[in-house]
Chain A
Amino acid sequence: MENESHGIMWVFAGLNLIFLCCAGGLFLFLIFESYPIFKLHGFDFWLGQDWWVGEAYGALPMLYGSTLVTALACLLVLPLALAVAIFISEFLTPTSRRCVKAILELLAGVPGIVYGLLGVSFLSLWIKDVFGLLDGNTLATASCLLAIMILPTVLTLSEDAMRSVPAEYRDNALGLGLSKWQTATAVVLPQALPGIMGAVLLGIGRAMGETIAVMLVVGSLDRIPDPWFNIFSSAQTIPSKLGREAAEAIGEGTHWSALMALGLTLFIMVLLINFIGNRFLKRRSIS
């Protein structure tokens, strides 16, 4: 018996190794494939503003677009997700809570292209009309769409985090005379913060990597908006750029290398965000 469980552990360790190798291999592949462009342009690749296939490869507009779209989506999603999560976790009866959660988790599984098509047919037109814009394919449209897409994920995971705060905490807080609302905001929310952070990080990961939905509504213009904070102008994100050009460049050449470098950039961005997030959590738990 002892021997058997030992063997299973080795199988599981082996599986774990496969996943680690996949992540590491992907990273190495991206570095290897993007090496030619960095050799050619150096770090100017990240600072250049022009992307003309065959002449110049500058990633700044895409970098900027990805960052801004994701940040905006997070700003939009956080207050909403937290408010609804508190409501579901602290104020709903268990039955209705399960019902609401099931529907939310269903939404989290809807593929990006569905959101994208809805974005093209409705959201971009609404945004155009509501804000009186020249055109509805903007950074703001993409951010709204992403916010809608990551809302179920962020919401349901935040709710799990709040729910997993031990019941004694709540009982104690209520026993001390705190109201239900005070218990939720002063006791449950701080305790659930690491879990909420994890939920947001997962949401950011999905938002950053979303290709097709963003591609259809962001305008795909490789230019930093003028002025830079103008969220009602079209722009470009890294995945959208890859989606539009990868099929043409596939396999070799400077163009391909430049696209792979964009992929590498995205990889590093997500890595950095996760790293910072974890650091933040660690510091909190120590203090």
Chain B
Amino acid sequence: MFRMLLFFLVAIGVIPFPVSADHSPKIEIVGSTTVLPIASRAAERFEKLQKIEKFKSSHRLRILVNAGGSGVGIHSVAKGRSDIGMASREISPSERKRFEGSHLKVHTVAVDAVACVISSEIYEAGIRDLTRQEIRDIYLGKIRNWKEVGGPDRKIVVVDKERHRGTRHVFMNYIFGNPTAKTPGTILVTGSNNEEQTKIAQSDSAIGMLSYAWINDEVRAIGIRDNKSIVNLTRETIRKGNYPIVRNLSFITAGEPNGEVKAFLEYLKSPEGQQLVEESGYIPFT
């Protein structure tokens, strides 16, 4: 009885080790949910291309794409937990300093705008644009009702993002001049673009910030008003550089990329890769 039990224990201990040897090449990509659609589209196509090229090779390239936010992307590539990081903002000076030894290299593939978005109910009620000062006051909690900016008599659900999110950095940098601005007016904090989109769509009086590709009929982008002139968010205004809140979407590697990672990044910058950028709803980086 005892010998059987011992054998059993030894058997459990031994079995898993020889099985886990898997040598097929793998690229792990982690980070911004804004860049994610580009990465997952590209990963799918690139895996297929590899399959055709290396037809006889038994090892198939696998690309794993995971979300987490720009901060997570930069952090994990710098720490060697992933091969490529995705970021929808610049690497901040403090991150540059902290990860100096990792020699982070930025490969920009697309241009995106961060929209100030509102629930469709408010959009239909006539709010089509706001000034920077108004948005600032809403996030500071000085303006709490839509009627103060010419909308219906309804309280504002101010939706903010987690502080390490790239979209928030870019948006707050424009509104407050400070990427980590404090926003006492906040009612809800969300994480990914998907989560924020859902929460704003579910509400009938919300304001928030979203990447250009996430705008739809329930979550409407508003224009930025400045001295009577209004800049609306369109592909044209992003391309021409008129819309004020734009940013680069990038992939980040620790040091110069090589091998499969290099090939993947080159594919993203190729005309075919840039076509995928367009399909994902962003502006190709030229």
Contacts and interface: CB of A to CB of B under 8 A. Distances in A.
A220 B162 CA distance: 9
B205 A134 contact: yes
B255 to A, nearest CB: 20
A247 B72 contact: yes
Interface stretch (B1-9, B13-21, B39-47, B224-232): B1-9
Contact of B2 (A8, A120, A135, A236): A8
Contacts of B182: 52
Contacts of A219: 187-189
Contacts of B206: 135
Given A134-B157, A245-B164, A221 B9 contact: no
A251 interface: yes
B75 A53 contact: no
B275 interface: no
B203 interface: yes
B188 A137 contact: yes
Interface string A169-189: 000000000000000000000
Contacts of A7: 2
Given A8-B5, A219-B188, A135 B203 contact: yes
A220 B72 CA distance: 18
B71 A11 contact: no
A84 B148 CA distance: 51
B102 interface: no
B163 interface: yes
Nearest to B186: A221
A234 B188 contact: yes
B68 interface: yes
Interface string A104-135: 00000000000000001000110000000011
A249 B69 CA distance: 12
Interface in A201-237: 216, 219-222, 234, 236
A136 interface: yes
Interface string A124-153: 110000000011110000000000000000
A220 B190 contact: yes
A250 B90 CA distance: 20
A122 B162 CA distance: 24
A4 interface: yes
A282 interface: no
Interface centre among B180, B188, B205 (most CB of A within 10 A): B188
B162 A245 contact: yes
A8 B1 contact: yes
Nearest to B81: A250
Nearest to A253: B98
Chain B contact residues: helix, strand, loop or mixed: mixed
A279 interface: no
B281 interface: no
Contact of A220 (B5, B69, B188, B202): B188
Nearest to B162: A244
Given A134-B155, A134-B205, A248 B189 contact: no
A134 B187 contact: yes
Interface in A233-280: 234, 236, 244-245, 247-251
Interface in A61-120: 120
Contact of B191 (A11, A54, A135, A244): A244
A75 to B, nearest CB: 25
A171 to B, nearest CB: 41
Nearest to B165: A248
Contacts of B162: 220, 244-245
A234 B190 CA distance: 12
Contacts of A234: 187-189
A216 B192 CA distance: 11
Interface string A1-41: 00011011001000000000000000000000000000000
Contacts of B188: 135, 137, 219-221, 234
Given A220-B188, A248-B72, A136 B202 contact: yes
B163 A53 contact: yes
A69 to B, nearest CB: 16
A4 B1 contact: yes
Nearest to A246: B72
Contacts of B199: 137
A281 to B, nearest CB: 35
Nearest to A137: B188
B71 A248 contact: yes
Nearest to A251: B79
Given A8-B1, A54-B180, 16 more contacts: A4-B2, A5-B1, A8-B2, A11-B5, A134-B155, A134-B205, A135-B157, A135-B187, A221-B187, A236-B189, A244-B162, A244-B189, A247-B68, A248-B69, A248-B164, A250-B79
Interface of A: 4-5, 7-8, 11, 52-54, 120, 124-125, 134-137, 216, 219-222, 234, 236, 244-245, 247-251
9 contacts: A11-B5, A52-B180, A53-B180, A135-B187, A135-B203, A244-B189, A245-B162, A245-B164, A248-B69
